[in-house]
Structure 1
């Protein structure tokens, strides 16, 4: 199998809105994309999302992912595994199907080239102050299940692994190649941790941060990462489980925040976008940053 030379490989976890997913794929040109579509998504939506994609896009085997599911982590790791095997990327980014770049490939490549071996990821040891009164420790201490966007918790404490530094942070991240490989290695070599994390609450916010923060797994992480996020997320101050959808009315604050004084590294991605709510805003982003200029951005008409 040919190895693709690139500074960045992108994993995209998607479950709906094939029109936006295809727009996102085009905006990420020329980076290789490893696309996962939730197995719960209807087959016609999956077909619309994947038919006729360029050769740089690799469709991953489908898993039944969903809100707060462990399978989100499994799909993420499958993306790392494929990206490491099929490219020589120095970095691997994890995006969702509702994300979008705020920079062209040259700017993103320059940022990564200037930071060899360095990850851009939020990974804070628990207790995490933003995660409630106990700082998120109950996420790990008790067994959980997700049901229709509700948390089900078995109120019986369990033993936790003693050789892990538990941490948390955003699902969205850009990992240096050797850090992505380290995550895959722990996933493969520690089935006990995989079994434990299947019942951790929202494992995609804790598994990778915990692997990275554990010195036995990732000894160089403290000196080889930037806690500065690369995503601008349009939180509006209201209490909700997910960020609001962005529209043209958000153009000013999105573009202003991209290079704000308190952001030492410009945001190069943002969320949350959809075809129905965000098309006008995405047109502004494309025009501002010169995105979607290649032949990849050709519509494929598939019945949805």
Structure 2
């Protein structure tokens, strides 16, 4: 009987680039190799010699640790970082023939899954994990020079010699000293934190030996650690075998600064769909201790919620609420029309506002439109393309509303709006047309807020109750904050109905908003499930 071939379980050779914290490096190496994995260490040649000797002495008897045969003097943005990586990779390939995967790490990284989980994860699919997006079209670079990274030669470090770096670049531009990108390469860009299979690593090393022209090109490219491996993997590996993502969880602020994690982030980190995380605060001793014990643990269940990135941008964005103090240039001479009335229903619970709008349409025949400035799929007529995207609708808001008034051949229209749209309210209330607001105040149970958090990506099905308990007050405060902003704006013609009040109490307010009789308002509010979640 023919024996079944069983694929070997993943064994990882970690490629560790570091330049400080010898105690932390020693602990990390011992921790990650204790369960059968390997590590190749490159310690920056610019770092303290005593630190390097301390690391070597502590790990000299660990057969699963190897040091790069040469050490580069590393500088941010320089080829030296790629060279250091290649030195460590070459040492790992030679020393660890049983390694199936090679995983890039820094001294600031910490494991957020067990070895059992990590090995099973890598065994699932025969693929490489590396961010690789088209350099020119992806928009991955947010600030700084872009094309100039490649088409000009860079011999100086921008951080150390800023004046001469840009002087050299200016001179090359002036003299037209551009260079050609190797014709057979489509340059890619992405994070330097990758995990590659052994055969991919071996193919890269062979390519480096065979293509000195490519090596020369990248040696004078600016920040090549974001392009070298990313480009070569795409060049050498079929697309179906590449997952364009990193397995290291990292976040950046709007200013390009890495987000640091602390002791109270332990549960959040474990819930992310990644194997490692960076950066962990040096002062976060408790989370380091707990994560340090994790890699050797057995039978740990990791419910993946994966809300980390969305949650960070939500919380950090709350402090940067944009306000405009003047009309946009395309709106200065535009108006909805002095004789027109725009009736705006403001409600955080969209389903409540939609039910109310539908009742108004049925009982009064006033055209109603739902969340056209918040919902991509809002039902709108074809207006020549201006209605096609949320961006266009918002940018040309007054022109859009004028066209909708004309399309429905009416001087009165009802639209629904989320309380977050304060800038929209300010614009429309500042128009020469009459704008009336109906604020629909709803009650928000914890169950509703949890559902809301899941709908907008702040939480997942596997998010722990402890995380939800800490998140709910923030969401509730955010809703209150939006409502207070609207009240503080003191808009004219501002009406308010409340879920906590009876239809008898709400009817006169709705009648005033719609300029209808109280009996019609009562008919509209008679819907039994108007406020039902």
Structure 1 Cα separation of the partners of residues 87 and 218 of structure 2: 16
Greater share of strand: 1
| Cα offset, 1:6, TM superposition | 6.0
Is the counterpart of residue 254 in structure 1 residue 274 in structure 2? no
Structure 1 Cα separation of the partners of residues 161 and 113 of structure 2: 36
| Cα offset, 1:134, TM superposition | 9.4
Specify the alignment match of 1:102 in structure 2: 112
| Cα offset, 1:15, TM superposition | 0.5
Is the counterpart of residue 32 in structure 1 residue 42 in structure 2? no
2:195 to 171, 174, 177: 174
Specify the alignment match of 1:58 in structure 2: 66
Structure 2 Cα separation of the partners of residues 148 and 124 of structure 1: 26
| Cα offset, 1:109, TM superposition | 1.2
Q: Is the 8 A contact 1:7 1:91 kept in 2?
A: yes
**3-state DSSP class of the match of 1:51?**
helix
| Cα offset, 1:150, TM superposition | 6.3
Specify the alignment match of 2:90 in structure 1: 81
Specify the alignment match of 1:44 in structure 2: 50
Structure 1 Cα separation of the partners of residues 54 and 280 of structure 2: 18
Q: Is the 8 A contact 2:66 2:95 kept in 1?
A: no
Gaps of 5+ in 2: 1-8, 173-177, 299-533
Specify the alignment match of 2:278 in structure 1: 271
2:286 to 280, 284, 287: 280
Specify the alignment match of 1:200 in structure 2: 221
Structure 2 Cα separation of the partners of residues 44 and 139 of structure 1: 36
Distance change (3 Å), C-alpha of 1:251 and 1:104: closer
Is the counterpart of residue 71 in structure 1 residue 86 in structure 2? no
**3-state DSSP class of the match of 1:9?**
strand
Q: How well do the aligned residues superpose, as a CA RMSD in angstroms?
A: 2.4
Higher relative contact order, chain-length normalized (CA < 8 Å, sep 6+): 1
Structure 2 Cα separation of the partners of residues 225 and 246 of structure 1: 29
Distance change (3 Å), C-alpha of 1:233 and 1:188: same
| Cα offset, 1:291, TM superposition | 4.2
| Cα offset, 1:147, TM superposition | 4.3
Q: Deviations over 1:232-264 (max 9, x none)?
A: 1143x2413x414322143353234x1xxxxxx
Structure 1 Cα separation of the partners of residues 246 and 215 of structure 2: 27
Gaps of 5+ in 1: 259-265, 294-304
Distance change (3 Å), C-alpha of 1:66 and 1:273: farther
Bigger CA drift: 34-43 or 119-128? 119-128
Is the counterpart of residue 165 in structure 1 residue 186 in structure 2? yes
| Cα offset, 1:50, TM superposition | 2.5
2:101 to 86, 91, 100: 91
1:232 to 235, 249, 257: 249
| Cα offset, 1:133, TM superposition | 7.6
Structure 2 Cα separation of the partners of residues 290 and 177 of structure 1: 22
Q: Is the 8 A contact 1:20 1:98 kept in 2?
A: no
Aligned length, in residue pairs: 272
State the TM-score, normalized to the length of structure 2: 0.48
Structure 2 Cα separation of the partners of residues 120 and 205 of structure 1: 14
**3-state DSSP class of the match of 1:28?**
helix
Greater share of helix: 2
When Rg is computed on C-alpha atoms for both structures, the one with the higher figure is 2
Specify the alignment match of 1:298 in structure 2: none
